[in-house]
A = this chain, B = another copy of it.
């Protein structure tokens, strides 16, 4: 049964170029069915079912994207969409949401979740979150989930795990020794080999009062002006003056009452087209299709395909390509060139902004 004092904050202000042309300035990844049939933000809410009701879910996004939040989450109360005038990284977002939740329920606990990750199975994720809530209540700790690394990634920050502090059911909560920025390959290897490091997944669980206290202590320049401004009043002028810091840096790196619960099931931040095979079932020839379109192949294997509902992609005799058809654009590239999508996006700023 959902806990009346448990809220969730979904950070949905992000924009990116790595999923162009499916993601556009006006429709970033979190609003697309990149993995599964539902928009990623809707899947993020689905994953909380039974733990947090939709009327206690707040979504933080930009003014431009607010309409799409409502489109993807038609049952979300309008007043649960918090609009940031401009994105200033996650610390102002977290502070804004914490202040709003404090107004609604001062003694609540809340979760902070990115809108565009895949975490499976949802039942285990909810168990982890429930344990994290218990840990957050225990001595008002700032809790994060850390993902057991499956390879020496250099694209994620790491969390060094300290002693076990408590168990919640079967799930241990550990002290956080330190947060580490994205390492080089050698350090990443060492981290993974040590067994003492987890990936920082940007998922946080804390009492509303506890995170606000930490923000006041470690990031007063963010939380105080926001508290003074009040919700949606004067934010236009204020936001550009706030430090653009990640909450990890603004709060977690300095706090001392930090706990981490390891996740050793499926987590994926779906960072590029090449992540699709990790989060999408493939056909017998290893072709992965997402986006809701149809795929028909003749002697084609290992391809990653995105097409929209009602669209058909036909592949004949091609292997290991990324083929995306979305709106008014098509992208074709080998999987190992998928990162060069950003070059096309850069050129489009001058040569074809209507396609961005």
Chain A residues with a Cβ under 8 A of chain B: 21, 294, 296, 298-299, 307, 310-318, 321, 323, 325, 328-334, 337, 340-341, 343-344, 347-348, 351-352, 355
Kindly list chain B residues whose C-beta atoms are within 8 Å of the C-beta of A331.
314-316
Kindly list chain B residues whose C-beta atoms are within 8 Å of the C-beta of A330.
307, 311-314, 323, 325, 330
Copies in the complex: 2
Query: 22 interchain pairs (CB within 8 A)?
Result: A21-B312, A21-B314, A296-B344, A296-B347, A296-B351, A296-B352, A298-B340, A299-B337, A312-B330, A313-B332, A314-B331, A314-B332, A314-B333, A314-B341, A314-B344, A315-B332, A316-B334, A316-B337, A318-B332, A318-B333, A323-B330, A323-B332
Distance, CA A315 to CA B344, complexed state (A) = 9
Given contacts A294-B352, A298-B344, contact A333 B317 (CB under 8 A): yes
Is A318's CB under 8 angstroms from B296's CB? no
Is A312's CB under 8 angstroms from B329's CB? yes
19 new A-B contacts, CB < 8 A, other than A296-B344, A315-B333, are A21-B312, A296-B347, A310-B328, A312-B328, A312-B355, A314-B331, A314-B341, A314-B344, A316-B332, A316-B334, A316-B343, A317-B333, A317-B337, A318-B321, A318-B332, A318-B333, A323-B330, A325-B330, A330-B330
Kindly list chain B residues whose C-beta atoms are within 8 Å of the C-beta of A316.
331-334, 337, 340-341, 343-344
Closest 7 CB pairs of A and B: A316-B333, A317-B337, A312-B329, A325-B330, A313-B330, A314-B344, A314-B331
